[in-house]
Amino acid sequence: MKKIGVIPARMAASRFPGKPLHLILGKPMLEHVYLRAKMYDKWDSLFIATCDSEIEKFANEKGIPVIMTGDHHTRALDRVAEAIELSDEVISDEDIIVNVQGDEPMMRPDMMSAVMDPLLKNNSIPATILAMHIIDESIWKNPDTVKLIYNESGEVLYTSRAPLPYCKGKFTQDLMARRIYGIFAFRWKFLKAFTHHKETRLEQLEACDSNRVLDMDFRQYIAPYPYLNSFSVDSPEDIDLVEKFMEKDDYWKQYS
């Protein structure tokens, strides 16, 4: 099975316009994401997918492979699927496509193994999502953080920006709450089916791609990952937090 990594990015993010090229410790955020994802050494290919000329220009200047997509997508997975269809890669239905969100500048290469391993070990699993343990109440309550509800088999049941599991609004680590960390893996045949399906009501209400997967009666499985001081960038205020922890980060030291 091929392993194809795609980093979707666009300048018009509603909460933080221009964030893919915003500097973090002197490098554009998108460069951090690409360099870290590239540390996973088993890709058949890895590239950026964008609709923006500014991002294309940045990628060309850095020698990063990039594919231009349409500007009509509201969901990252739709952009990823179009980029695969536009690429020169010969893809089979069982090949694995990994969506690496462009706002995860602190991601680690072992997260790629974590999200792909279930698909490599079990042919019946169509899709996975990296699910990081939540140990902090502020993350649990933060609407920028998408939480997961999953069953004892690890199947995702629902994703929401609300604090879940609810537990009368009282957070404890015993909840085993998890959040979506922006790395998703799909078999190509399921990603194709996803992107050919119209957006669904719950997807729109929660602003989360994964609810379309569930509304289609597909199953997405969690790829559990322990808590790390690894932060997504949802708003300009997140930059200071990311820089504070990235300065101490071993991966940053490898490419700084």
Which domains are delineated in the chain?
3-255 (3.90.550.10)
Q: How confident is the model at residue 16 (pLDDT cuts 50, 70, 90)?
A: confident
With a cut of 90, say whether residue 167 has pLDDT above it: no
- Rounded Cα–Cα distance for residues 116 and 112 (Å): 6
Instruction: Please state the rounded mean pLDDT for residues 96-110.
Output: 96
Average pLDDT score over residue span 99-121 = 96
Residue 133, token pair as written in the block: 């343990």
> Band of the pLDDT at 12, cuts 50, 70, 90?
confident
**Euclidean distance between CA atoms 59 and 57, whole angstroms:** 5
CA torsion sign for 202, 147, 6, 97 is negative
Over residues 185-199, the pLDDT tens digits come to: 999 999 999 999 999
Judged against a pLDDT cut of 80, whether residue 13 lies above it is answered with no
* Strand pairing class (178-187; 147-150): antiparallel
**Which alpha helices (H) appear in 39-175, and where do they start and end?**
53-62, 76-86, 110-121, 137-141
Q: What percent of the chain has pLDDT over 70?
A: 100
Question: What mean pLDDT do residues 219-228 have?
Answer: 95
pLDDT at residue 169, rounded to an integer: 83
